[in-house]
Structure 1
Amino acid sequence: MKRRVLYITGVISSVITALLTIFGFLATNRLMFLKMKDSEFILEREIISKRFDEHWYQTVRKDDIWIESPNGYLLKAIFLKPLETAKTVIVCHGVTENKINSIKYARLFERLGYNSVVYDHRRHGDSGGKTTSFGFYEKTDLQVIVHAIRERIGKRALLGIHGESMGAATTILYAGTFVDEADFHIADCPFSDFSEQILHILRKNTPIRTAMALRIANVFLKMRDGYTLNLVSPREVVKNISKPVLFIHSMEDDFILPYMTVELYEAKKGDKMLKLFQKGAHSKSFNDNPVQYEKTVQEFLDRFGFRN
């Protein structure tokens, strides 16, 4: 009888272990290898919406740049130079997008007196990299891009960073973790903590309601990609940022909830500004409020002396 109980217990334990292993691999696969939007789809979408001017892009003065990531691959960047100025903004796109989605912001900053650098995050567009880490490895990629651009424009030139969604979280993680070579930052719809963000998505789209799934995912994520979800937390580092930050979000965003941006704004010390648009789904603040968005950015630059 005792042997039978031990046998049944062993079988049950094996089944549970197998199920947890399957769940861990499936969950981390979903994170690490999130399906990208097709590049042609992004280009066509931006052209139809008149956010991408093909003639301007083909004729504008620009440099193609390949930058080596400390994580072991090449990053593709394009330095757009429509103006005779050293003032520059680096634009970081969101997850599943690419540098073409950033062109609309390049045109905005052109109107405000800045050239721009658009680039592809790891595993996006033309850049290398096998996995997406939602800011963990992306922040060190941004660090080398900022350094490379700073060397090109000089130490005295104004340099800003604009990030959208994952790009905004990456911007905060960079500025709050490393020596910040930029002069200002604009964070549009960032998450404040990736674990909370994943739990929100799970509760919204699946029957899962507890954080146990995150603990299982963390074990496999650490083994497979070298980090855990709790290490992707802009909330933990935003207090370290000394440069001015403009925080932007739309109240209609139900993917990354607006409270996360408010939380980051409140935690940021020193110079800062917050704008919450009433209209706009996730990453659509500019698309749905282009005039007000540009006025907000201009006000931020004027307020902290970055239009000189």
Structure 2
Amino acid sequence: MLLFTLIVMLFIIFLIKARDIMFGYAVLEKKRSSDEIFRLMEYTNVYDRKHYYKQQFEKLTIKSDDGFKLTAHYLECYKESNSIIIFLHGYSVDHHRSCQYIDFFIEKGFNILLVDQRSHGESEGKYTTYGSYEVRDLNLWVNLMIEKFGGNCVIGIHGHSMGAATALLYSGEGEGKVKFIISEAGYSDAEELLKSKLHKHKIPVFPFYKLTCRKIKSKCGFGMKDVRPIDIVKGSNIPILFIHGDMDELVPCRMGIDMYRAKKDHKAIYIVKDGMHNTCYSKDKNIYEEVVSRFINENI
């Protein structure tokens, strides 16, 4: 009897430890430094950090609905222009990850807003919420840009991975504020994404998925099953360009295709051959920019 009790106790401790590890991986993953991010972009030949440090960024801050100070870096390229592109990075990086795109958008006539999403970079926050709270933060940034440039301004959003999912979640309430969204490597369903992460690390979905989700709900205040960008995209009238690498190792390419198919109209898709999660742009910058340029020209 004593041995059985000991075995049960050890098993429970194992479950708790495994759940806590998965919880940490899901919402508390170690953030990459700016040096790591720049080194990756320099390695793939999409951006040189020297360009970043030459720019005169203005630091902007706002307060989130739940009291966190959020930070973004604004680059005014055209004083007379009322066009702004808002960049949203993915999980575990920060606004530096979005730098690779800014030269192209400057050429297209846009002013630049590089956002540090909550709990990333210079923005406060305890947990990553896969877009659940980030979408509220995005609305505050959009409203700030409208306040700054007026109601007739042209606002576009470019999001990568979690940033893309955040933008897609905003594609419903953002109508009338946002002219277009570019979603690169965005996920359609956070619940399915978490399950795929469990499979990738060879962790059984049962019982660890439910255990992890319960802790996420109690600690972070949101449910993974409620973060479903595909549901919002179905009813959105904002033009959306879906970009996805067909070899994406983190967010399955089929998620981007599913969302493209779910959206009724005002849509485009670009599947990057041999593109991985972080290499869609570097695979062929010319084609990427050509696709994006055509999409923008058709929708503003």
Give the TM-score normalised by structure 1: 0.89
Displacement of 1:268 after TM fit? 1.3
Alpha-carbon RMSD across the aligned residues, in angstroms, is 2.2
The 8 Å contact of residues 174 and 180 in structure 1, kept in 2 or not, is answered as no
Give the equivalent residue in structure 1 for 2:73. 78
- Partners of 1:180 and 1:14 lie apart in 2 by 56
Q: For the structure 1 residues 191 and 211, does the alpha-carbon distance in structure 2 shift closer, same or farther, using more than 3 Å as the test?
A: farther
Runs of 5+ consecutive residues of structure 2 not aligned to the other structure: none
Correspondence for 2:153 among 128, 153, 157? 157
Displacement of 1:43 after TM fit? 3.0
Q: Which sits farther off after the overlay, 156-165 or 29-38?
A: 29-38
Give the equivalent residue in structure 1 for 2:280. 285
The 8 Å contact of residues 38 and 49 in structure 2, kept in 1 or not, is answered as no
SS at match of 1:26: helix
Residue-by-residue CA offset, 1:71-91 (whole Å, 9 max, x unaligned): 221111111122241101100
> Is 1:122 matched with 2:103?
no
Displacement of 1:42 after TM fit? 1.7
The 8 Å contact of residues 177 and 237 in structure 1, kept in 2 or not, is answered as no
Correspondence for 1:39 among 34, 42, 51? 34
SS at match of 1:187: strand
> Is 1:201 matched with 2:197?
yes
Correspondence for 1:188 among 184, 209, 212? 184
Letter in 2 for 1:79: Y
- Partners of 2:134 and 2:115 lie apart in 1 by 12
Letter in 1 for 2:67: G
Larger Rg: 1
> Is 1:173 matched with 2:146?
no
- Partners of 1:101 and 1:95 lie apart in 2 by 10
> Is 1:295 matched with 2:290?
yes
SS at match of 1:106: helix
Runs of 5+ consecutive residues of structure 1 not aligned to the other structure: none
The 8 Å contact of residues 176 and 239 in structure 1, kept in 2 or not, is answered as no
The 8 Å contact of residues 99 and 120 in structure 1, kept in 2 or not, is answered as yes
Residue-by-residue CA offset, 1:193-220 (whole Å, 9 max, x unaligned): 1111121122122152x35322111111
Give the TM-score normalised by structure 2: 0.91
- Size of the alignment, in residue pairs? 299
Q: Which sits farther off after the overlay, 58-67 or 256-265?
A: 58-67
Letter in 2 for 1:46: M
- Partners of 1:159 and 1:222 lie apart in 2 by 33
Q: For the structure 1 residues 276 and 79, does the alpha-carbon distance in structure 2 shift closer, same or farther, using more than 3 Å as the test?
A: same
Correspondence for 1:141 among 137, 140, 144? 137
Give the equivalent residue in structure 2 for 1:241. 236
Give the equivalent residue in structure 2 for 1:108. 104
> Is 1:268 matched with 2:279?
no
The 8 Å contact of residues 35 and 96 in structure 1, kept in 2 or not, is answered as yes
Correspondence for 1:95 among 91, 96, 111? 91
- Partners of 1:26 and 1:101 lie apart in 2 by 26
The 8 Å contact of residues 26 and 194 in structure 2, kept in 1 or not, is answered as no
The 8 Å contact of residues 249 and 276 in structure 1, kept in 2 or not, is answered as yes
Residue-by-residue CA offset, 1:37-92 (whole Å, 9 max, x unaligned): 12222234435655445554445454210111112211111111222411011000
SS at match of 2:65: coil
Letter in 2 for 1:139: V
SS at match of 2:177: coil
Q: Which sits farther off after the overlay, 44-53 or 279-288?
A: 44-53
SS at match of 1:218: helix
- Partners of 2:48 and 2:8 lie apart in 1 by 59
SS at match of 2:92: coil
- Partners of 2:41 and 2:246 lie apart in 1 by 23
> Is 1:232 matched with 2:224?
no
